[in-house]
Each structure stands twice: as structure tokens, then as C-alpha cells.
């Protein structure tokens, strides 16, 4: 398992959380998506390392933006 935390810009409400969680959750290999609205972070657990370009595209599709590269948690 791999866990990475991303900073997401623009999330302000529960709908934002749901949109980001849904788009990232569709990526192949993702097993869990935890969104911290107050902290502006998304922690993604997957069975294999994710392509950051794919994560960025998923967040963009939800209507938000990654603020920078992921920090690897595990």
C-alpha cells in the first residue's frame, strides 16, 4: 500500500469534499480517499504508486487544483 497526501486549493464545503473524493476514487488502484476540508488536504491510499498527473487531472475535473507535489506518508 502507498499513501500520499496532496494539498488542494479551493475546497470550501461538503460538496467540494464529495467531488474531490469521487474523482480521485475513480483512479485505478485507489483504495481510500480521505479529505480534510479544514486543512485543505487529500490523503490517498492505493495498492500501487499513483501517477501524480492522473491525480492532478482528477482534482482538476472536480473543479479544484493541486497546490504542489504530494508528500509520501508511507
- Cα of first residue to Cα of last residue in the chain, in angstroms, is 8
What topology is assigned to 2-72 in CATH? Alpha-Beta Plaits (3.30.70)
For residue 52, give the C-alpha cell. Answer: 501524480
CA pair distance 16, 42, nearest whole angstrom: 11
Mean pLDDT of all residues in 7-31: 97
Question: In the predicted model, is pLDDT for residue 55 greater than 70?
Answer: yes
Element (H, E) at 55: helix 52-62
Residue spans of the domains in the chain: they are 2-72
Please list, in sequence order, all residues whose beta carbon lies within 8 angstroms of the beta carbon of residue 28, skipping any fewer than 6 positions away.
Answer: none
Give the cell for residue 29: 488502484
pLDDT tens, position by position, 28-52: 999 999 999 999 999 999 999 999 9
Is the full-model pTM beyond 0.85?
yes
Contact predicate 36/67, CB 8 Å:
no
Of the two residues 74 and 64, the one the predictor is more confident about is 64
Amino acid at each position: 500500500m502507498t499513501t500520499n497526501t496532496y494539498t488542494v486549493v479551493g475546497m470550501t464545503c461538503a460538496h467540494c469534499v464529495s467531488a474531490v473524493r469521487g474523482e480521485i476514487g475513480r483512479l485505478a488502484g485507489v483504495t481510500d480517499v480521505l479529505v480534510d476540508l479544514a486543512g485543505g488536504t487529500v490523503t490517498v491510499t492505493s495498492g500501487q504508486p499513483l501517477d501524480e498527473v492522473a491525480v492532478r487531472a482528477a482534482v482538476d475535473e472536480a473543479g479544484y487544483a493541486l497546490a504542489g507535489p504530494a508528500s509520501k506518508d508511507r
